[in-house]
A and B are shown apart, each in its own frame.
Chain A
């Protein structure tokens, strides 16, 4: 009888063993804390959203700097935690760290949040994903301009890199469809997370007459709270910050990583990989594909604002909206997109953006 018991236990363990061997093990790496109310939290929420799915197990590590530390974390996740797909979420992990480790582990897939995959140069087991959050910013710009009474918007940004400039420009172009004379003033703080500078910038912008604020920093918490304190409006970024600004929060540009990771899991669970071509190396999308979304409208948004925003959203969902349609000039007067040309979201030219469009007050030079 004992023998049968043991056989039964062994069989049970074997079944469990195979069940866990079939589980998809994913590893997430964050450059900052998981609860920064911003970039990293958005990814962590995405991970939390999919970790309950059947057949999926996740491990994560936060506060991993962009040095040898992340290489070590990736290797540890692969060798110690048997992770088969890695999601290093910070932009700066790619070069040289992901490239180096990916070459050492050709059987593991590395899905990087960013747009750096270069066909022919990047190892085949590396893929990129990113969301066109500037589409959500476009809609936020519409809402901001329709709510603003002074016609001045303040934008607090970290650094003048293409991703940030694209957000600023899309926001402005959206705002200009409602109010062609709107002015978006930009202050660059210099780094991704500098609360005191962000607060100073917010206050300076409001002093200069801005009555809607927004930002592109790692943790929009300070900007949102400062806006509420000064009694101006604010649109959020990365995640939903409406709880912090019940009166001033209009809407926000959010990531929907749960959706994106869910899509990846479906592909992975059906046996598709980067190597066999089942998973595209560049996996990106905007509002239509569910990569990004806008927060629910706040109480201060007027009906016209909502209508304009919904109209634009409908165009995105139908795939007919083109944000970067010529003629567009930069704020120094130079024509950057000639009349008659339009740049689709996937256009690599947009990845190299180094200008601010007319209507933006500020400079890209550091």
Chain B
């Protein structure tokens, strides 16, 4: 119906939306604010495409065939059900860890204490879980999950409280708490809770096999994935659709206005930070109960820091965290094949991740740059 040569702001087969109607009349074919949604898909997708090209150039100079590298990455990350499971396994802890940054960001706080909460959650869950050697698997897992969430929650609650009641910068305090958590973990598994028979790899006593979290069905993926997806969805709902979430967003927007409006700022910050820490604490419990089987220094696997990055790449959107975690999971899952098949050194996967993240972050600045994506503006 419309002329294909019409101005770029008019898409094909789409009746022109008059300025006055913009935002009030849902357009016939694509729905309300479809341009913004399209923008939100095309820009990151374009960024990933560009980053692949840049990485291909890097591979070329490093002596590998870029096209073969692309094929391998696809094969290793998404190409088959087997490789997709690998990606999901890697993505699962990231979803929970990302929430530790995403939730406080809504309050206007930049928290990077995910690693500390993860480690403390895993450690405490192990200690408590070992006290119930005869419990039924479900009981033990529930107790461990609650402990992990509680410990991680308290860890970040401390960060939030220090910020609100003492003015201590939360980015720095959460960073320092990471190191402290790591030191506590090392001290604990090397002496306080060490299993004497875990001689050459100091760990706590192991959780009995029957009490461990089992994989979902016959797949390689454990229940941590479900916890992650559910937690992200709950968070999204909490922040967007509840009064509590509204309070959080108001505090994040303008803390003085929130105070003036009589909102309970202190308690809100404290509770929100507790929830923020509970998520990586749960991830820590899953790492122990589904993967490691005991607490050891392998618990400090760096998932926390990756979680920070996921949160920022997902623009602090809890639902986006799920997608970005899968993306990062895919990147991580493709690291091995770069070494084995293309003989690229192990640092190549870091360069790849760096290129992808920097391009996506760059693309953040492109929103609103093109008229095509603005809603019905003249």
A68-B90, A190-B186 known; A91-B293 Cβ under 8 A: no
Is B336 at the interface (CB under 8 A from chain A)? yes
Q: Is the CB of B298 within 8 A of A67?
A: yes
Residues in A with CB closer than 8 Å to B337 are 76, 80
Is A366 at the interface (CB under 8 A from chain B)? yes
Task: State the total of A-B contacts with C-beta under 8 angstroms.
Answer: 82
A60-B339, A72-B89 known; A159-B291 Cβ under 8 A: no
> Which residues between 21 and 75 of chain A lie within 8 Å of chain B, taking CB atoms?
33-34, 59-69, 72-73, 75
Give B287's nearest chain A residue, CB to CB. A67
Residues in B with CB closer than 8 Å to A354 are 199
Q: Is the CB of A76 within 8 A of B298?
A: no
A72-B89, A366-B191 known; A61-B199 Cβ under 8 A: no
> Which residues between 312 and 329 of chain A lie within 8 Å of chain B, taking CB atoms?
none
* CB of A70 to closest CB in B, whole Å: 10
Q: Is the CB of A63 within 8 A of B199?
A: no
Residue count of chain A within 8 Å CB distance of chain B: 38
Kindly state the separation between the CA atoms of A94 and B199 in the bound complex, as whole angstroms: 13
Q: Which of B86, B199, B346 contacts A72 (CB 8 A)?
A: B86
Q: Is the CB of A65 within 8 A of B340?
A: no
Q: Is the CB of B336 within 8 A of A72?
A: yes
A61-B336, A92-B201 known; A79-B190 Cβ under 8 A: no
Interface centre among A33, A69, A190 (most CB of B within 10 A): A69
Is B56 at the interface (CB under 8 A from chain A)? no
Q: Is the CB of B202 within 8 A of A159?
A: yes
Residues in A with CB closer than 8 Å to B199 are 161-162, 351-352, 354
Is B139 at the interface (CB under 8 A from chain A)? no
> Which residues between 343 and 364 of chain A lie within 8 Å of chain B, taking CB atoms?
351-352, 354
Interface centre among A62, A68, A114 (most CB of B within 10 A): A68
> Which residues between 309 and 354 of chain B lie within 8 Å of chain A, taking CB atoms?
332-333, 336-337, 339-341, 345-347
Residues in B with CB closer than 8 Å to A96 are 291-293
Q: Which of A81, A351, A352 contacts B340 (CB 8 A)?
A: A81
Q: Is the CB of A61 within 8 A of B339?
A: yes
* CB of B187 to closest CB in A, whole Å: 7
> Which residues between 157 and 201 of chain A lie within 8 Å of chain B, taking CB atoms?
159, 161-163, 190-191
Give B192's nearest chain A residue, CB to CB. A366
Is B200 at the interface (CB under 8 A from chain A)? yes
Interface centre among A61, A67, A75, A161 (most CB of B within 10 A): A67
Kindly state the separation between the CA atoms of A163 and B187 in the bound complex, as whole angstroms: 19
Kindly state the separation between the CA atoms of A246 and B205 in the bound complex, as whole angstroms: 46
Interface membership of chain A positions 94-116, coded 1 if the CB is closer than 8 angstroms to chain B and 0 otherwise: 11100000000000000000100
A-B contact pairs, 6 of them (CB 8 A): A60-B339, A63-B347, A72-B336, A76-B336, A80-B340, A92-B201
A60-B340, A80-B337, A162-B199 given; 7 more Cβ-contact pairs under 8 Å = A62-B346, A64-B336, A68-B291, A72-B89, A77-B340, A91-B201, A366-B187
User: Which 5 pairs show the lowest CB-CB distances between chains A and B?
Assistant: A63-B346, A62-B346, A66-B298, A59-B340, A366-B190
